[in-house]
Amino acid sequence: MGAYRRTKLVLVAHRLGVFDALAAKSADANAVADRVHAHPATLAPVLDALSGMGVLEKSGALYTNGAIAAEHLVKGRPMYLGHVLEMHDRLWEGWSNLEHVVRSGQPWRTLPALLEAEPDFADRYIRGMHNFSGPAAREVARLVGPGSVKRMLDVGGGPGTYAFAILEQNPEARATVLDLDVTLRITREFANAHPLKDRLELRVGNYLEDEYGDGFDLALMSHTTHDEPEVRVRDMLARAYQALDRGGRVAIHDWVLDDSGATPLDPALFGVHVMLYTDGGRVHRRADYERWLGEAGFVRLEHHLVLPERVASATTLLLGTKP
């Protein structure tokens, strides 16, 4: 029952800037409080609890960042994950409204509205996704097959992490990332700094309303179908089918539930999470995806676990071919 306390401690310490304050050297509670503009008497128990958790280390009166905090929670470090924390920090309010969401059947907010209304959140959301997607994107690219793609569409491609990973493995390929304007404004910053930027096109569009174009041999939907209910996923699959050449493949990459609908645990928890900020979004079952793919006309269905060593949070890649 108390797990929320640990999450909140890390979120607040990150908000205060505790990990940045300890980036260069150890400090006692008074010095940290001074640097982060907090009261030393109320900051000290927070630092102690974080030390007990192993996020910080305490020696005498001095605190230091633990290994994970030093690598992932200090701004500017190559493996910085603070944007992911900021995203969770914002969605905490959604979880506080869970009872209302469950009673009313309505989301707390919808993602496009949230992204549009809060540019800061959009920035964290997109950067946060980019921060943690690297290993999964490389694995998806490997499973799709090096050298197998010439022209891909990344539906709701966000920061373009997956498109770039596939471009890296397919030297002749070109990619189009289809996403909302508010998202692509941030993606453009990533893309412009990427060595493969000339092979990536950003196309502003709504994946529920706009045509996807044509002539593609791969249509990727990574972490987008959980934001949508069945009826819209099926519509997206129909649009992807139209956009693909014969022999082209659709690839769905997401957290996927087994037949029970209740396991693995992480996708089941995420199923509640998406309900808070989507209009009918759900984590879907593998059997449902396979049925929808078949009904959309796709054949030779495959499924692969992505990074299965992550156990509870492993994702699934489903592939289908347009005959």
Ligand X SMILES: C[S@@+](CC[C@H](N)C(=O)[O-])C[C@H]1O[C@@H](n2cnc3c(N)ncnc32)[C@H](O)[C@@H]1O
Please provide the DSSP assignment of 117-175 as one string: H-HHHHHHHHHHHHHHHHHHHHHHHHHH-TT--SEEEEET-TT-HHHHHHHHH-TT-EE
**Contact call for residue 162 and ligand X (CB under 6 A):** yes
Distance of closest approach, residue 17 Cβ to ligand X, in angstroms: 27
Beta-carbon contacts of 99 under 8 Å, excluding residues fewer than 6 positions away, are none
Give the other-Cβ count within 10 Å of 139's Cβ.
19
Distance of closest approach, residue 142 Cβ to ligand X, in angstroms: 16
Report the residue number, 49 or 314, with the smaller CB distance to ligand X.
Answer: 314
Distance of closest approach, residue 297 Cβ to ligand X, in angstroms: 22
Distance of closest approach, residue 16 Cβ to ligand X, in angstroms: 28
**Contact call for residue 161 and ligand X (CB under 6 A):** yes
The reply to whether omega before 264 is within 30° of 0 (cis) is yes
**Contact call for residue 224 and ligand X (CB under 6 A):** yes
Q: Which of 133, 176, 225, 315 binds ligand X (CB under 6 A)?
A: 133
User: Which helix H or strand E contains 317, and what residues bound it?
Assistant: strand 315-321
Distance of closest approach, residue 148 Cβ to ligand X, in angstroms: 19
What is the chain's Cα-based Rg? 21
**Contact call for residue 158 and ligand X (CB under 6 A):** yes
**Contact call for residue 316 and ligand X (CB under 6 A):** no
Residues in contact with ligand X, shown as a per-residue x/- string from 251 to 270 under the rule CB under 6 A = --------------------
Enumerate the β-bridge partners of residue 310.
none
Q: Which of 111, 144, 153, 317 binds ligand X (CB under 6 A)?
A: 111
Separation of alpha carbons 251 and 92, rounded Å:
31
Report the residue number, 74 or 257, with the smaller CB distance to ligand X.
Answer: 257
Alpha helices in the chain (DSSP H): 3-16, 18-21, 29-36, 40-53, 67-72, 82-96, 98-104, 111-117, 119-144, 161-169, 181-192, 230-243, 265-277, 286-296
**Contact call for residue 248 and ligand X (CB under 6 A):** no
Stretch that binds ligand X, among 25-33, 99-107, 219-227, 294-302 (CB under 6 A): 219-227
Separation of alpha carbons 201 and 299, rounded Å:
28
Stretch that binds ligand X, among 4-12, 38-46, 92-100, 157-165 (CB under 6 A): 157-165
Beta-carbon contacts of 103 under 8 Å, excluding residues fewer than 6 positions away, are none
**Contact call for residue 271 and ligand X (CB under 6 A):** no
Distance of closest approach, residue 1 Cβ to ligand X, in angstroms: 29
Stretch that binds ligand X, among 19-27, 53-61, 206-214, 282-290 (CB under 6 A): 206-214
Separation of alpha carbons 91 and 276, rounded Å:
8
Answer whether 237's CB lies under 8 Å from 290's CB: no
Half-sphere exposure of 78 (CA within 13 A, CB side): 1
**Contact call for residue 156 and ligand X (CB under 6 A):** yes
Q: Which of 67, 206, 245, 299 binds ligand X (CB under 6 A)?
A: 206
Report the residue number, 63 or 241, with the smaller CB distance to ligand X.
Answer: 241
Stretch that binds ligand X, among 25-33, 80-88, 158-166, 282-290 (CB under 6 A): 158-166
**Token duo for residue 146:** 């090096």
User: Which residues here bind ligand X, judged by CB under 6 A?
Assistant: 111-112, 129, 133, 156-158, 161-162, 179-180, 183, 206-208, 222-224, 227
